[in-house]
Amino acid sequence: MKRRTRMFTLFLLLIIIAGGAALYIWNAMQPVQPQTQPVAFTVVQGTGTSAIADTLEQKGLIRNALVFKAYVKFKQQGSAFQAGKYEAKPGATFDQLITKLSAGDVVKEEMIRFTIPEGFTIRQMADKLQKEGLADRQRFLQLANDPSAFDVALVRDIPKQAGLRYALEGYLFPETYELKKGSTAKDIIQAMLEQTQKRLETVSDLDAKLKQRGETLHQLLTVASLVEREVVVEDERSVVAGVIYNRLKQDKKLEIDATVQYMLDKQKERLYYKDLAVESPYNTYMHQGLPPGPIASPSLKSVIAALQPKATDYLFYVTKKDGTHEHLFAKTYKEHLHNIQVSNRKTN
């Protein structure tokens, strides 16, 4: 009788212990007091489940780290946890926290967004970025003359030649960018250079075509920038590129208004003879050959047009003054003068 009593007492004690343990575990698994304000925590790359559980307990997101570890092990999901910066509201369940960590549902970083139009110059970029509160103008211009500050293969072959205004002119791709908030002027330029590199890599056999033409990438971008600033109508890009190469072959001065506009720093509706007489290596009315470098950031369309110019005998072009932005092309100076008269008549 006494033995049965002892057995019953032991059995009852085990039930009480098991029930207490179950109650403890159940209580430990319950969400903490709900709050509306999220709590931030970080999971560093390589952090184990045990350390993550400790962090969650320290941040007040779970009641018991040991029980959380056991639950994760039971669910066989700890190996899928991803690194990153997280936010979770107190009151989340174990399963909700596990899902967030497994999905890598990290906090989205604040971003900045800006657009650099095609044909923009370094100075226009600097002015725009400063106006939008994204970069210091002077710092941007300073970096634009320091290719060595950037880790992009593209900049290694930029020539160090006299008269080059900004070393990175023409190398910053015109595009809409989205970068982390707090990005510096250097970060912005780095991203733009990387985008140029990426876009140029899409051009089929670029290096082989340049070698075949006996042309450097710097020269190509220079011609492309001239095309970008001179042409509005899409179909004329390759034609104008062809005119530029035709004049270079015949040792004729390019006499391109856009190069004069570039050296004057501001767009003028009309250029005067005094503007064309300003001494500058970029003044293609005074100096033969290409200017020292690009005068703007060309689009990929202009780069391709410069790489694959249309074969014609044209040596001249003049803009139609009828609002179409098209050009009249000529093979001889006499034809060019006639085209100028035709163009001027359209304004009367």
- Give long-range contacts, CB 8 A cutoff, 24+ apart: 248-256: 248/289, 248/290, 250/315, 251/288, 252/288, 252/315, 253/284, 253/285, 253/286, 253/287, 253/288, 254/226, 254/284, 254/288, 254/289, 254/290, 255/284, 255/285, 256/226, 256/230, 256/284
pTM of the predicted structure, to 2 decimals = 0.77
One-letter-per-residue 3-state SS of the chain: CHHHHHHHHHHHHHHHHHHHHHHHHHHHHCCCCCCCCCEEEEECCCCCHHHHHHHHHHCCCCCCHHHHHHHHHHHCCHHHCCCEEEEECCCCCHHHHHHHHHHCCCCCCCEEEEECCCCCCHHHHHHHHHHCCCCCHHHHHHHCCCHHHCCCHHHHHCCCCCCCCCCCCCCCCCCEEEEECCCCHHHHHHHHHHHHHHHHCCCCCHHHHHHHHCCCHHHHHHHHHHHHHHCCCHHHHHHHHHHHHHHHHCCCCCCCHHHHHHHHCCCCCCCCHHHHCCCCCCCCCCCCCCCCCCCCCCCHHHHHHHHCCCCCCCCEEEECCCCCCCEEEECCHHHHHHHHHHHHHCCC
Residue 134: the pLDDT is: 95
Confidence of residue 26 (pLDDT cuts 50, 70, 90): low
Predicted confidence (pLDDT) at residue 253 exceeds the cutoff of 80: yes
d(CA 119, CA 140): 18
Question: Tens digit of pLDDT for each residue in 77-108?
Answer: 777 899 999 999 999 998 899 999 999 998 88
Predicted confidence (pLDDT) at residue 265 exceeds the cutoff of 80: no
Question: Tens digit of pLDDT for each residue in 191-250?
Answer: 999 999 999 999 999 999 999 999 999 999 999 999 999 999 999 999 999 999 999 999
Which of 253 and 161 is assigned the larger pLDDT?
A: 253
Confidence of residue 270 (pLDDT cuts 50, 70, 90): confident
Please choose, from the candidates 234, 223, 235, 232, the residue with its C-alpha nearest in 3D space to the C-alpha of residue 259: 223
Burial class (CB in 10 A: 0-12, 13-18, 19+), 243: buried
Neighbours of 52 (CB within 10 A): 23
Which of 8 and 109 is assigned the larger pLDDT?
A: 109
d(CA 280, CA 259): 10
Please give the mean pLDDT across all residues of the chain: 89
